[in-house]
Chains A and B, each alone.
Chain A
Amino acid sequence: MKNLKIPGDFRGQALVEIILALPILLLFVAGISQLAVTFLCYVQFEHACGEAARQYAAGTINKDALGSRIANNLGNLSGYFDIGSLDIRIQTPSNNAEKALDKVRHSISYFPFVPHYEGYEWSISIKVHPPFLFKLIFPNGITFRTVMQVYRYPT
């Protein structure tokens, strides 16, 4: 019986295939992990803002200390953030009723002995320098933005 033999030498084929596929595989894995890191950065930013607002509401900080407190609250992920780009703006509420209430609160604050609660609506933004793969897509970084409003009773 005649032996059937496939012509050519196939030794090392698997190795070559792995070598070719590995960079792509690593690229995908890195992409997934970096996407996760970017999401984590956003969640951490939201959490940091919320925590700072809670501290403001509790009376432990004033409105001027909000920025430094947000920067502190970024924790281990602060390396990804451009702290210098942190921008906090007090904005007027979007709702007309809220605007009217703001005016009333402002007027009442001039009367002695009449208590009034106080607070702000902040628009906060910060730039994030994502890991290297995302940097290729977003060379100038990604800007995270959030809006939050809280009032406090001055204690």
Chain B
Amino acid sequence: MRVIGGKQMAFQKLRDFNQNPLGQVLLATLLFCFVFIALFLGLYKSGQAYIVKEETRRAVNLTSLTGGAVYANGLQLVREANIVIMGSAAFDAAVIAQSIGEALLAPPPLDVAAVALAAEKADPHSRNPAQDIFAAVFGVDTPAGIGAYPALIAGQAYLTANENSLSLPPYNAYNYETAKDIDAVAPNMALRFRHADEFLPDNNVAPYSLMHNGVRHYFYSDQVESADNPRHPKQMRVKKFSSSEFAGWWVRREKGGLDDGGAGNLSGQNPFSKVTGIGLLKKYLHQFKLDITDRDDPPCHSFTTLGNMKVKTGAQDKSLYEVGEVRVETKGISAWDTGKPFQIYLVKVNIDAFPVLRQSLQTLRNIPVLNNILQSSDILNGL
């Protein structure tokens, strides 16, 4: 006689129960309930994740817009600072003109060196204290552009991110389109001091140019392409897949440049290049530091936020990342531009237009933690 154990007995009973109609109905009902509970739970979880994604997008956009507003406010303050600086510069120029007047009116030949020396000696430098103060306030020509006002932009963005329930700290980028190295992440307003020589035209032959940190770079028609920007349909940029270190940067059309010039076509000459001694004059004027201006031409002022919000999925927390970028545009930040309005608007982050950044990001993807961030954010659009 075979002895049946307790466990086997229970299985036997269950099998018998399942073979009668009542058991089958019960089993089917259980299966049915399980399927629908799974559906409900799935819908609930995905719905929650979708809500958090929408909240994150909204919070990041509002934080970027706030950063942009503070940035624009700072640029307006720069214009007012420029009134003070240019007022002092005008006073300095009047003193210099008075002191070199006699040398200029002396009978020919004109002793240029003596005039230049007299001008240098007579310069009272009354603009210097204002320049020093505003340099510290706005981070002009300081290491990585660090200053009090850029710190306010970062601080306000941090606080707004906190109020909008983003996880802290948010990661911000400053004018990354024209930034090099640490400039992209250190709070800065992409500003520099203008020098007197910049009012003189350059002797160029190329039709497009851009300026970065006071140095102008020229490009021919075959080195640029449309910037593909709906707000600025005629805007051109350096070809984004070119080997240029400025690939993707916006360029300005030169009035004196040759329209049909290709790379290496130097047959045309700007009439201004024939003026002798212009290089020396520019070199001399470069020592006169004037007002605050944009670091780049065409100007680039943008503020980008990479924020995340946590969502609970199962036992673990997951972070959802979003990126928002705001561009601040205006027609000049000089003292005489004080009344001109600002345009502050959200733009689609377009990392792939900047090969240097794209390459850096692809390197970062090899780091598991950063790869998770990049995978779950919109930052890799187009890569």
Contacts and interface: CB of A to CB of B under 8 A. Distances in A.
Nearest to B62: A150
A98 interface: yes
B65 A35 contact: no
A95 B165 CA distance: 12
B344 A95 contact: no
A132 B40 CA distance: 17
Interface string A27-40: 01001100110010
A106 interface: no
A152 B65 contact: yes
Interface stretch (A41-49, A61-69, A74-82): A41-49
A53 B163 CA distance: 14
Nearest to A44: B54
Interface string A1-32: 00000000000000000000100000010011
Contact of B70 (A97, A117, A146): A117
Interface stretch (B73-81, B117-125, B211-219, B257-265): B73-81
B61 interface: yes
Contacts of B39: 28, 32
Contacts of B346: 54
Contacts of B50: 39, 43
Nearest to B39: A32
Interface stretch (B154-162, B286-294, B352-360): B154-162
A50 B64 CA distance: 13
A54 B76 contact: no
Contacts of A21: 32
B72 A153 contact: yes
A155 interface: yes
Contact of B159 (A31, A98, A147, A155): A98
Interface string B28-68: 00001000100110011001001100110111011001101
B172 to A, nearest CB: 15
Interface in A84-125: 93-95, 97-98, 101, 113-117, 119, 121
Contact of B341 (A28, A54, A155): A155
Contact of B163 (A54, A95, A152): A95
Given A31-B40, A43-B51, A113 B69 contact: no
A32 B51 contact: no
A153 to B, nearest CB: 4
B339 to A, nearest CB: 12
Contact of A49 (B32, B58, B70, B155): B58
A97 B155 contact: yes
A138 interface: no
- Size class of B's contact patch? 35 or more
- Size class of A's contact patch? 35 or more
A53 B61 CA distance: 10
B62 A148 contact: yes
B57 A42 contact: no
Nearest to A56: B65
B344 A153 contact: yes
A50 B58 contact: yes
B21 to A, nearest CB: 9
B345 interface: yes
B80 A113 contact: yes
A138 to B, nearest CB: 16
Nearest to B160: A149
B43 A117 contact: no
A133 interface: no
Interface in B223-245: none
Contact of A115 (B62, B73, B162): B73
A106 to B, nearest CB: 15
A148 B58 contact: yes
A94 B163 contact: yes
Contacts of B165: 147
Interface in A123-155: 146-153, 155
B342 A116 contact: no
A21 B36 CA distance: 14
Interface in B155-192: 155-156, 159-160, 162-165
Given A46-B58, A57-B69, 16 more contacts: A21-B32, A42-B51, A49-B58, A54-B61, A58-B345, A95-B163, A113-B80, A114-B77, A116-B73, A148-B58, A150-B65, A150-B160, A151-B69, A152-B69, A153-B69, A155-B341
Q: Top 10 A-B pairs ranked by shortest CB distance?
A: A50-B58, A39-B47, A153-B72, A149-B163, A115-B76, A57-B65, A153-B69, A150-B62, A151-B66, A98-B159
